[in-house]
Structure 1
């Protein structure tokens, strides 16, 4: 379990990161813990190529692939959380491949080791790609996560596994993690094996929460795969389901995936909904600018009078993308020195935007401008359903 250590930015009010919101009682009456949750991890071929390049440089990794350098930028945040939740989007393959791209993904299992090394504790595995390779794919994915030391929920290898709620001890609090997906790209869950993957039905979400509570859970967190891809606003169906969940369950926090772009956070009936955390690590065939941006949701739980108060924060992230072969050719044709623009990055890297803007003295002007765009655009998206009134703000601001 990732454990919080002395983390100045999280405890000094002057840094804009106090553990409670303005005007709240600074001394909770009970226990407290932090949760970090980030967006979709979907390994495209370009990222596998980068992991091969990095393994050659570091001499680390497994079977010639090292994803650690790519993900290292978010480790300072993820590793500080008391509970860190990832979303494992695709089916894991064998260490030496072969791997597959869209539409039926098979991704290197080495990514799971890097997910663990960054500081994650558990992953949701319910997505539209869960059944890309049937029951064998589900088994292989969960075996991969087990081997890496990651807990998981949302798909299962047996009815018995599916029926047992995932409950973790987080600083003395029993926290359950449940996960559901809208569908599986037209694939049906076999009627005799409905336990393979959790499909969104309000009654089933409510039943999963009830089962977790009966097993001793004091807090329940839902990962949900929903909405429209590449659409920065929650759909009508998302908004309706959010209100149904807030009204008909006692779930404490809902974190969303699938859109591959950031969508707002909103407090509904006392429950925080992060409609989409965007992509944490992905490289779509046609990057849109939005698809490289994501957030780490940072949630501070405090027990007050027997109830759980949740303060929401966010950390903007960005996947730095090297120029494509086509753009390199264009630059070489136009550039007197025949080289790539000095402002372009040469490697895929997952970046904590605020940390880079504040602390990285080696950023080019082009990188600095791109990171600032990501920060400002993410802030606008986060707040466009009125979350500022409920205290939502960046975990760290550029002016702190």
Structure 2
């Protein structure tokens, strides 16, 4: 093979080898990494807190005239026991979140006991009221000084021993200060500040040096009983508002006995109380029922405030015989707290008519009876009385159930 051939072969081989190689591949420039922007999680819509609803049972005047006191005596057990007398009210009192009444007597562990005109009743009454389901009683009324200052102190001592809260009277100046005199209660999750007052003390002056003993809403409690102590009421209600409770309730002893309608003075006082923050005004003293109503008042600053008023529920227990003094009702108020607005108030009510039945025999037996349910075996006379009690309550208190 000649030199030219070898060169040619070499050249061809080089060409062939070169032609078999792949073309160079360009490597792409990597793009800069992009960090995704995190998507904010949606803010969950808070679940609205449902309104809180509670029930407050209200009863009338608890009076122990001597026939009632004698009936409460259990000879076999050697004790005073009032529970059989008002047992029929237990489902309505015990069934409420909180229950209140007006205690219109003094209490003592020592006899002799007495009824009208100067009441002194067995201390067992306090424990029996607590057992029935009551939580608080008004002690400011025209009979609270029937046994003087000592009787007032004894009454409060017995209530404390029974575990019953009280408003309206005080054993000391310290106890009469707003921070202790105003009772704040948890009523089924709704806070309520309770205050208590009376128009007078049946002409018995306050003990010397103890003006704090009884909460009086009249400046002329020994004379005309017609001049409200506006300064005191306004100051007390300001103290109650400062407690920042959901509701304020004023229990008050007022009006004219045996009248089934309120008078103008009661209405004026109601307006004064509501204008200064009272949401509930719970009255007693008339010994017969008086109306229920919602009342709207314009305050001095131009704002409007609505409150519920019970002028009177008559006697819870007694042995009075005047017309309608045996007729009463257990009132149940529906209280509602709106957590969204912070507003609270009475959103409804109902009542159960009751009749204090007096049966004469070898002994006088008193039974508070549910007038809306005729007991088996009731005589025609008792049936008529029960039906009349239902009718009377409807005409005075209004139809049941009622709503504002």
Aligned pairs for 1:265-304 within 5 A: 265-269=292-296, 270-284=306-320, 287-304=321-338
- Alpha-carbon offset, residue 39 of structure 1: 0.4
Structure 2 residue 126 is matched with structure 1 residue 98? no
Aligned to 2:7: none
Aligned to 1:196: 213
Q: Which residue of 333, 345, 350 corresponds with 1:313?
A: 350
Aligned to 1:88: 103
Change (3 A) 1:46 1:103: same
- Alpha-carbon offset, residue 210 of structure 1: 2.1
Structure 2 residue 400 is matched with structure 1 residue 364? no
CA contact (8 A) 1:315 1:394 kept: no
Structure 2 residue 393 is matched with structure 1 residue 378? yes
Distance 1:236 1:176 in 2: 26
Aligned to 2:53: 32
Aligned to 2:226: none
Aligned to 1:51: 72
Aligned to 1:225: 253
Distance 2:140 2:62 in 1: 12
Q: Which residue of 262, 270, 274 corresponds with 1:242?
A: 270
- Alpha-carbon offset, residue 188 of structure 1: 2.2
CA contact (8 A) 1:272 1:312 kept: no
Distance 1:279 1:100 in 2: 18
Structure 1, unaligned runs of 5 or more: 1-26, 326-344, 384-391, 396-400
Worse overlay, 189-198 or 106-115:
189-198
CA contact (8 A) 1:28 1:303 kept: no
Distance 1:282 1:203 in 2: 35
CA contact (8 A) 1:34 1:83 kept: yes
Distance 1:192 1:307 in 2: 42
Aligned to 1:322: 359
CA contact (8 A) 1:245 1:251 kept: yes
Distance 1:68 1:362 in 2: 22
Aligned to 1:258: 285
CA contact (8 A) 1:36 1:296 kept: yes
Aligned to 1:207: 235
CA contact (8 A) 2:241 2:277 kept: no
Q: Which residue of 179, 188, 196 corresponds with 1:179?
A: 196
Aligned to 2:370: 352
- Alpha-carbon offset, residue 175 of structure 1: 1.4
Q: TM-score, normalised by structure 1?
A: 0.78
Structure 1 runs (4+) deviating above 3 angstroms are none
CA contact (8 A) 1:255 1:277 kept: no
Matched residue SS, 2:108: coil
Distance 2:49 2:155 in 1: 40
Matched residue SS, 1:264: strand
Worse overlay, 177-186 or 236-245:
236-245
Structure 2, unaligned runs of 5 or more: 1-47, 218-228, 297-305
Distance 2:142 2:57 in 1: 23
CA contact (8 A) 2:247 2:345 kept: no
Change (3 A) 1:260 1:30: same
Matched residue SS, 2:328: strand
- Alpha-carbon offset, residue 78 of structure 1: 0.2
CA contact (8 A) 2:54 2:189 kept: no
Distance 1:48 1:309 in 2: 38
Q: TM-score, normalised by structure 2?
A: 0.77
Distance 1:129 1:203 in 2: 25
Larger Rg: 2
Distance 2:345 2:170 in 1: 31
Change (3 A) 1:202 1:317: farther
Deviations 1:217-261 (A, max 9, x none): 221111110000111111221122122222x21111111110000
